Amino acid sequence: MIIDLHAHALNERFIVDLAKSPVAGLRSERDSEGLYVIRRAGDDRKSTIDPHLFGMEHRLESLKRRDVGLQLFGPPPFMLAWPGGASGVELVRALNKAALETAAESEGRMEPLAALALGEPEHVVAELEYAVHEQGFRGVIMPSSAGGKPLDDPEFAELFATIERLGLIVFLHPTSAVTSERFGMYGIHVLVGWPFETSLAITRMIFNGVLERHPELKLVLAHGGGNLVFLRGRLDSAYEATGWEADPYFRQHISQKPSAYLDRLYYDTCALSQETNRFVIQTMGSDRVVFGSDYPFDIGDPEGRRSMPVIDRLAPGDRERICHLNAERLLLDAGRR
């Protein structure tokens, strides 16, 4: 049995309703090929919606065939944060309500992660409490920045304290903090920029003391942790430096070397190559890796074809930990504290 901690979904009724009644500046339409397109007011860019994001028949067939007993999902990343902005109360309420409706249609195989109102920091904690206590969410999907504002900003200090107190899973997913011009195109931004966004967000959270202050955070990183597993020695070198490059900043807010904080996090299997997956598992250990597919996206592992060959070669105990035991431990008592 598999628990998939990294997937995305939208409710088709939500998309259709956006054409009639835009939400937080988002509206939908059909393009010339009949696909749904979502636009944001004041932005010329558009996001074409993969039909598999809302196609329940195809998704359920895939989940059953692959013995995925539970799939946690959030909205596509462009809805969480974008250059210059992040989701506010109006959008979060709509997304979370629609996600619960999707889960209700999934025969018990899908569970939503709550979106966060990071665009309105003064309301983000109250909205989270509502999602947990009134709607039953056990985890959140968090973008790598709030429209360019870092997650270690003091405005989010109470949010992390609340998340830790409630024992919620935090699935950190990269988003674009800046526009894509320097990358040449949006696709290259996703390929190269998004792993960097994850690495930057966590590095800042380490050195600015967020993970020091909240040792019980259940933090899961998308895409095998971006570049962090490869960079762990480089981060440690800044903490351990004694020569002219030594900077007090790298010890100011933390009591351990950065890799000690990385060792507390979880990394999904959506690293997209067998070599990278083996490296993440060998470096971080099977007790810190969880299955993630990024369903339904092509620049992902929607059917597990890139990760399962590696997982299936592991010892039975390691395989079980990655496929479901680690996720079960994360979900235990989540949102019930």
Domains and CATH numbers, the chain: 2-10+55-331 (3.20.20.140)
Name the amino acid, one letter, at 307.
Answer: S
What pLDDT is recorded for position 121?
Answer: 97
**Model confidence band, residue 33 (pLDDT cutoffs 50, 70, 90):** confident
Per-residue pLDDT at 148 exceeds 90: no
DSSP character string of 17-41:
HHHHS-BTTEEEEE-TTS-EEEEET
| Secondary structure element (H or E) that encloses residue 245, with its range | none
What are phi and psi for residue 68, nearest 5 degrees?
Answer: -90, 105
d(CA 58, CA 52): 7
pLDDT at 41: 85
Q: Is 22 exposed, middle or buried (0-12, 13-18, 19+ CB in 10 A)?
A: middle
84 beta partners: none
Which pLDDT score, from 0 to 100, does residue 46 have? Answer: 86
Amino acid, single-letter form, for residue 201: A
Q: What is the pLDDT of residue 133?
A: 96
Calculate helix-pair angle for 89-104, 12-20, nearest 10 degrees.
140
Q: Binning pLDDT at 50, 70 and 90, where does residue 32 land?
A: confident
Instruction: Identify the residue whose tokens are 């709607």.
Output: 135
Q: CA 235, CA 262: separation in Å to the nearest integer?
A: 10
Residue at token pair 């989010």: 156
* Residue pair 295/8 in contact by the 8 Å Cβ criterion: yes
The pLDDT of residue 337 is above 70: no
Quick one: average pLDDT of 265-292?
A: 98
Nearest Cα to Cα of residue 191 among 298, 295, 93: 298
Q: Is 290 helix (H, G, I), strand (E, B) or coil?
A: strand
Say whether pTM exceeds 0.85.
yes
Q: How far apart are CA 261 and CA 240, in angstroms?
A: 15
SS3 at position 178 = coil
Q: How far is CA 33 from the centre of its chain?
A: 30
φ, ψ at 15 (rounded to 5°): -65, -45
**pLDDT at residue number 143:** 98
pLDDT grade for 247, boundaries at 50, 70 and 90? very high
Q: How far is CA 146 from the centre of its chain?
A: 13
The pLDDT score that the predictor gives to residue 56 is 96
The mean-pLDDT minimum among 38-42, 106-110, 157-161 falls in 38-42
Distance separating alpha carbons of residues 191 and 178, to the nearest angstrom: 14
- The whole-chain average pLDDT of the chain stands at 96
